[in-house]
């Protein structure tokens, strides 16, 4: 008989397993999401979280790689999730470039730097602070996507 409790690894990460039939995150099902972070572990974890909801995920390890993926995409991304602090160009600069070609592109920022959460700076999208649980991240992305759909974008 198997133990139905979450594995110690999933408890350690602080996430609950989402699945494609979970009605909690309907905006994520089949959503095309570009995830940008210079930390490969973050990209991997976030990709798995999103794919479990049925989202289609493209990852980029730098803002420049993200710009290339964004420009080369056959279909526009429904949402861009980007880290703020990255070498070369930060997430705010990346989003500024993306908004030059698609001004209403929905974005969500993530950061592990407390200075970004307490600075009072206005970002052109919601901010999720690392470390986050899957519910925090998926809930925020879902709300943004539902809002974008209702705005007709």
Q: Which tens digits make up the pLDDT trace of 77-110?
A: 999 999 999 999 999 999 999 999 999 999 999 9
pLDDT computed for residue 88 by the predictor: 94
Superfamily of domain 19-150: Response regulator (3.40.50.2300)
CA distance 110 to 12: 20
Q: Are 59 and 47 in contact (CB under 8 A)?
A: yes
pLDDT computed for residue 9 by the predictor: 30
Q: Enter the pTM of the model.
A: 0.82
Rg (the chain; Cα; Å): 15
For residue 109, the tally of other CB atoms under 10 A from its CB is 23
CA distance 24 to 40: 27
CA distance 103 to 128: 21
**Residues of the chain scoring pLDDT < 50:** 1-18, 20-21, 117-119, 153
């Amino acid at each position: 008989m198997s133990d139905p409790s979450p594995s110690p690894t999933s408890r350690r990460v602080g996430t609950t397993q989402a699945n494609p039939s979970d009605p909690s995150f309907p905006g994520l099902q089949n959503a095309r999401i570009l995830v940008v972070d210079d930390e490969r572990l973050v990209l991997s974890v976030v990709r798995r979280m999103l794919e479990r909801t049925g989202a289609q995920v493209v990852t980029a390890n730098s803002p420049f790689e993200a710009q290339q993926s964004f420009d080369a995409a056959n279909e526009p991304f429904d949402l861009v999730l980007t880290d703020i602090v990255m070498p070369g160009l930060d997430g705010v600069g990346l989003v500024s470039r993306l908004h030059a070609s698609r001004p209403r592109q929905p974005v969500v920022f993530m950061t592990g730097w407390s200075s970004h959460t307490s600075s009072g700076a206005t970002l052109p999208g919601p901010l999720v602070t690392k470390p986050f649980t899957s519910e925090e991240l998926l809930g925020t992305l879902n709300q943004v996507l539902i809002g974008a759909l209702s705005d007709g974008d």
